[in-house]
Amino acid sequence: MSKSTLSEIVDLFLLRVTPPEGETERPYYTTGSIVAAALFRLTLILFLAMLFNDQYRGTGWWWTAVTLAAWGLGAYPAWLQYRRFNEDVRVLQENTLCGSCRHFNPTNQLCTVLDVHVTSNEPPCGGDEWEPLQ
Ligand code: SF4
């Protein structure tokens, strides 16, 4: 099934604030992807603002609109994604064996021994490599 145009735009600009269904192989959000996506959107907004600045700067609303776009399309989705990321990490830390293991890196939800993402209750090592947090 093909994605809708709206869905394609949302994915193109990394505006999705909840992971798509069936996305289980890797964490949909990491701090790096959130920051990179926010910078990408803010750069694009700033570029468009400079491009159309000569035409609209005398209108009185131009920079208000640019500021609102920077907040609404640039920063706010990143804030929602970061909250979602933190919630996912909290759930993993509280509900999984990996969450209590010293090899679990919550920053990118990665097992540092196997170099794989932890995305479910099932530890990728099967519990064989588990070591307690110190
Ligand atoms: S070593 Fe095992 S228990 Fe520890 S983080 Fe990796 S997969 Fe999870």
Question: Based on the structure, what is the number of domains in the chain?
Answer: 2
Residues 32 and 14 in one domain: yes
Using alpha carbons only, what angle is made at residue 39 by residues 117 and 16, rounded to the nearest 5 degrees?
Answer: 55
Q: What is the pLDDT along the chain (134 residues), one digit of tens a residue?
A: 456 777 777 766 777 766 666 655 666 777 888 888 899 999 999 999 999 999 888 888 999 999 999 999 999 999 988 898 888 889 888 999 999 999 999 888 889 999 998 887 889 999 999 999 87
Question: Which of 98, 115, 120 is the best mutation target for the ligand 1 pocket, counting ligand atoms within 8 Å of the beta carbon and taking the most?
Answer: 98
Q: Among residues 20, 17, 18, 27, which one has the least CA distance to residue 109?
A: 27
Give the pLDDT of residue 5.
Answer: 78
Residues 59 and 9 in one domain: yes
Ligand 1 closest atom vs CA 126: 2
What does the pLDDT look like over 11-23, one tens digit per residue? 667 777 666 666 5
Residues 27 and 50 in one domain: yes
Straight-line distance from the first to the last Cα atom of the chain, in angstroms, rounded to the nearest whole number: 48
Is the CB of residue 124 less than 8 Å from the CB of residue 118?
yes
Residues 109 and 82 in one domain: no
Residues 107 and 64 in one domain: no
Residues 14 and 73 in one domain: yes
Q: How many CB atoms lie within 10 A of CB 41?
A: 20
- Which residue type does 52 have? F
Find the 95 Cα to ligand 1 centroid distance in Å. Answer: 13
Residues 24 and 41 in one domain: yes
Residues 65 and 101 in one domain: no
Its domain, for residue 79, covers: 3-88
Find the 23 Cα to ligand 1 centroid distance in Å. Answer: 21
Find the 89 Cα to ligand 1 centroid distance in Å. Answer: 14
pTM for this predicted structure: 0.73
Is the CB of residue 25 less than 8 Å from the CB of residue 119?
yes
